[in-house]
Structure 1
């Protein structure tokens, strides 16, 4: 009986049935208990274990195991919207809460600037933890924010008019309009670029160049799904005041909850630029609570690998997630080497600053968009047999391209970088 009702409601609202099911399950469904259990357990850990490393380890272990168990027991062969989607956002919130409470017991001189901003000097109440966890502006898709920011919001400190309601309607509507535009683009073009097309005989029968261009266009369109959600959610946070970020150069800033730099996302020809413009708050959370906390390893590369591994299993247990983040690490490594080569080589530096740069930019952007979509294939059709079939059909061109680039980079450096330049770099 419930299924036909959900179908009718979905059709009348013009929304996918899984999305309707998600909203209803959060509001009235029995699956609400998953988040309630995790919130209560986290609160008890703060109260009973105090500001200890044990509390952090227990919080991290419990919250991640609960999420991974949810992934395991609800896993299907298709991407679906279920209770684990908002729960993965909640997991980061609650783990971050344990870290922030722990930092609150340290001397301020031992904390970084961002740790000082988020550190909790007193144990939060159950009401504060629940309000922070279920805040409607960030519960479903993010953004990530700290309990300290939420406390400042409740205390009416986040406003451009002290003691008054913030003038946030205009900046909020700007973000909403931008998010809605991205949503329209996705709604118009996504039916022409479905994930399922990759697994059809028709796709495999297409010429190699067509398959590659399809990956490029598909990757560009599929990301608007995330962009639209995050930018609209940011608008909600701005409207409440949570997005207020002080004054810079005499102008009030509303980007405290920004999860996307849309202009940078659209124009950057660099993979690093896309990553720094995309899912900003989650990346900042991972940098603050995983990458920087692994400083004791004494190796940035190892910390980077561990952080990406954490993010991959946080997304889910499918092999496609690990492959996607592995490719990201490899691509960024090669790109940084290429940037260093261009910077150190007088010939390449001159070429990059010449009148030919617009042409170079077009070629670079084509490579960038193609190989941004390439790892996303594994992310979106995450089962081993599926992504292997797609990558085989394009002859693993992304893997080969960056492997070859990585292998020839030392020889290019020998040929294009003067020896004295190399010696100067080593001395620096």
Structure 2
């Protein structure tokens, strides 16, 4: 298919690798309808073989003979599950094997641009396989589990066919999203069928809505990309712009970069929804929810005006995976900031070896920390609290916060999108490293403000002295 793919790539103005990926995502729709029509009530083995064969074909279409990397990695983890199931050793081995395999792939194939290599689905596979080993480990100690862990715990080791089927399912193999083996097996076993008829669920309309929304985001990305491009960002013309114009440009550029990811995830989510895999119970009105595999919560994402809300809505399933299998498992460290730092460091490493990832996630860490501290400061200043509580100020403050977080995210995404130090350094230098300075030195400013500037609330302690009650103000020994 190199001829048609090349023609499409030249017509749209993109690379052949990108077209192959897009065609693979769109193929999920006819494949989902085929599954509903012919395989939904077939024995499980046929369903598993369907997903394995289709997934391998898509992998070969995109990466050729390099498909053996994913197959070999899956077999290695299956051996770990057979030899040391449900043990800490198995979890440690899974982390080591999966991360090492991915790292070696990055070392062997990384270039100065974003690569459409076998390492792209491999990073999805790394989390999926590690999650399965964790779930088997959790399944061996149910009494100690949280409610969240009980939802995904596996009481027995999945078969090799089940593991291959999970990993090569076309709804999650290429770019995600992450979903657990427990959810996948429930889907295969018909747990999400129509409750009255036992037929495939009424998920076609929700799936097509996600398809339309994903297509819209991709169209916006393509159209807006003609006006805000990487080439201009790296050009001398950008450097000649005024500071405020530069801020405006990277704000729009960063938002459009996210449009590409959002559109791609929505296209995948649509095909998964049509399959019935994304069923997530019912809402308070008794309507079916189909957001169980949503990697982006679009309404919340577009409306978000805080860093935490923005990050929480974007790449949702990956963030949930990181929170569940890394952040919360680091509770023994006794410090949330350290746990968050380690989690973000692993998240950056998981993305790749380019310095741009680490700069981006470091800025994300500093941004969220600054936001939390700013909120705590506002709560201590009565005049500011009163001012922002006025009804007429709420829309103004919402717009202001939206502009500031979109600018800040665009600033951080410069390094995420350009990857190479020599590229993003010139952008930041042209902006005088302004937001780096703000975020890096904010902790010192916060310390000064809370220690010397903002008055602390006076504390009163009532101390009985014989028959007289004395009020002590700010007495250290009583506070």
Is 1:287–2:323 an aligned residue pair? yes
Q: Please, which of 308, 318, 334 is the counterpart of residue 354 of structure 2?
A: 318
1:221 matched residue in structure 2 = 256
Q: Give the 5 Å matches for 1:122-133.
A: 122-133=156-167
2:143 matched residue in structure 1 = 109
TM-score (norm 2): 0.84
What do the CA deviations read for 1:209-247 (whole angstroms, capped 9, x no partner)? 111111111011110001111122111111111110112
CA contact (8 A) 2:363 2:439 kept: no
Provide structure 1 residue ranges, at least 5 long, that are not aligned to the other structure.
Answer: none
Deviation at 1:412, TM superposition (A): 4.1
Q: Please, which of 32, 38, 53 is the counterpart of residue 73 of structure 2?
A: 38
1:409 matched residue in structure 2 = 446
* Cα distance between partner residues in 1 of 2:119 and 2:440: 35
What do the CA deviations read for 1:265-314 (whole angstroms, capped 9, x no partner)? 11221111110110010000001111111112121111111000000010
Is 1:300–2:326 an aligned residue pair? no
CA contact (8 A) 2:91 2:134 kept: yes
* Cα distance between partner residues in 1 of 2:338 and 2:434: 27
Q: Give the 5 Å matches for 1:6-405.
A: 6-8=5-7, 10-11=9-10, 16-20=15-19, 26-28=59-61, 29-106=64-141, 108-161=142-195, 163-249=198-284, 250-354=286-390, 355-405=392-442
* Cα distance between partner residues in 2 of 1:5 and 1:158: 38
* Cα distance between partner residues in 1 of 2:350 and 2:361: 12
* Cα distance between partner residues in 1 of 2:222 and 2:148: 38
Provide structure 2 residue ranges, at least 5 long, that are not aligned to the other structure.
Answer: 25-56, 461-473
Deviates more, 1:406-415 or 1:273-282: 406-415
* Cα distance between partner residues in 1 of 2:355 and 2:288: 44
* Cα distance between partner residues in 2 of 1:46 and 1:37: 14
Deviation at 1:409, TM superposition (A): 2.7
* Cα distance between partner residues in 1 of 2:20 and 2:298: 30
CA contact (8 A) 2:283 2:289 kept: yes
Deviates more, 1:53-62 or 1:356-365: 356-365
SS in structure 2 at match of 1:248? coil
SS in structure 2 at match of 1:247? coil
* Cα distance between partner residues in 2 of 1:130 and 1:234: 20
Deviation at 1:207, TM superposition (A): 1.4
* Cα distance between partner residues in 2 of 1:4 and 1:232: 24
Deviation at 1:81, TM superposition (A): 1.5
CA contact (8 A) 1:347 1:416 kept: no
What do the CA deviations read for 1:30-74 (whole angstroms, capped 9, x no partner)? 011011101111111111222111111111101111111111111
Deviation at 1:362, TM superposition (A): 2.2
SS in structure 2 at match of 1:419? coil
* Cα distance between partner residues in 1 of 2:159 and 2:434: 54
Deviation at 1:125, TM superposition (A): 0.9
What do the CA deviations read for 1:9-35 (whole angstroms, capped 9, x no partner)? 634788631124555871351011011
Deviation at 1:8, TM superposition (A): 3.4
* Cα distance between partner residues in 2 of 1:383 and 1:289: 30
CA contact (8 A) 1:138 1:233 kept: yes
CA contact (8 A) 2:257 2:417 kept: no
What do the CA deviations read for 1:127-149 (whole angstroms, capped 9, x no partner)? 10011001111111111000011
Q: How many residues align structurally? A: 423
